[in-house]
Structure 1
């Protein structure tokens, strides 16, 4: 074995002995866009959720017209994790969607490498606050259009224009119910965050 091969083998063995690097990502968006579903679809552990029943009072505040089967809502956060490979583990923190729980966002995004802002094209008005928040905090983020019922109401150029999202912010479509689709969306966030860190 040559000295180079010996050194490479030693590096590989040291990497194998180290725990994966922890990376925090935030899953954000408006009420009922699929944040809890996203975390649950990909997490390798049983996700921690803080779901509470939607009461008659809350139903009068939150628009349920497009989510009539929704009976619970996140009141603090969702949490899950996924090991990408032996060197990298993502810790996922889902924000509450309602504006009245917005005071928790600063704590949830502390130390996050990036964010996935989920959009429901049927209710774009509910997404502005999340986009504005990540822009203001200068946290790298990807806008992920959730394909409810397997379809998206508008094309990505129209969505970018409507949300007034900068060209350097990636827009992707995904299905929050499908593990592979969620994985691809999270990898887009990770790639963007690493590009920003290296730049």
Structure 2
């Protein structure tokens, strides 16, 4: 008599969690914006899991006469197009970070850089708040969710957050945070605030 082998048990189907892990992470575009020398390039570089793409050019004597270097005397380069980096927050979410140039003369690039972004982090230097008005106005007028992040240069800020909100005339629903553009964890926390704002806006829009 020929023996018939027992059938091999069918493998259990993958769980929802396993299926999620097998899917590529959701790509999300965020913009890092702000005035000249506020720390945008530093922010992208501090958290990017790849070597950041930067478009830094040397500050010439002519540019130095146009850009205010009073509070950044050691700055020798400036972004002339954009910065780019990315970070995988978890297996389901990957952020693609696009940093804007800070000078007004490069403002014509912003629409292309911002196109498709879920939200923005507007970086502020409290020593020169007027440099950040244009960035705040840009995202307000285009109704793009954003958060304001005060970069703590040397671990300090010149004004508290209530004063910053008043000076920038930022609505109460816009989050203001203090962060250190040089530290990965601090940058991550600031980006998570932007994500939270953007998702809340999307959920509110879906409910209407």
TM-score band w.r.t. shorter chain: over 0.9
Distance 1:104 1:190 in 2: 23
1:108 equivalenced with 2:113 (yes/no) = yes
The unaligned stretches of length 5 or more in structure 2 are 1-11
Matched residue, 1:169: 174
Are positions 1:196 and 2:201 aligned together?
yes
Within the candidate set 55, 62, 65, 2:60 is matched to 55
Moved more, 11-20 or 127-136: 11-20
RMSD: 0.9
Where do 1:110-129 residues align within 5 Å?
110-129=115-134
Residues of 2 paired with 1:194 and 1:181: CA distance? 20
Structure with more strand by fraction: 1
Equivalent positions of 1:146-157 (< 5 A) are: 146-157=151-162
1:159-181, Cα deviation, whole Å (9 max, x unpaired):
00000000000000000000000
Taking structure 1 as the reference length, the TM-score comes to: 0.95
Unaligned runs of 5+ in 1: 1-5
What's 1:3 paired with? Answer: none
Distance (whole Å) between structure 2 residues aligned to residue 29 and residue 159 of structure 1? 14
- Give distance in 1, aligned partners of 2:64 and 2:92: 44
What TM-score does the superposition give when structure 2 sets the normalisation length? 0.91
Report deviation, 1:53: 0.1
Q: d(CA) in 1 for partners of 2:42 and 2:81? A: 15
Matched residue, 1:77: 82
Secondary structure at the aligned position of 1:69 is classed as coil
**Is 1:30 matched with 2:35?**
yes
1:21 matches 2:26: yes
1:134 matches 2:102: no
Corresponding position: 1:46 with 2:51: yes
Q: C-alpha offsets along residues 132-160 of structure 1, whole Å, 9 cap, x if unaligned? A: 00001100000000000100110100000
Q: Which has the higher helix share?
A: 1
Deviation beyond 4 Å, 4+ runs, structure 1: none
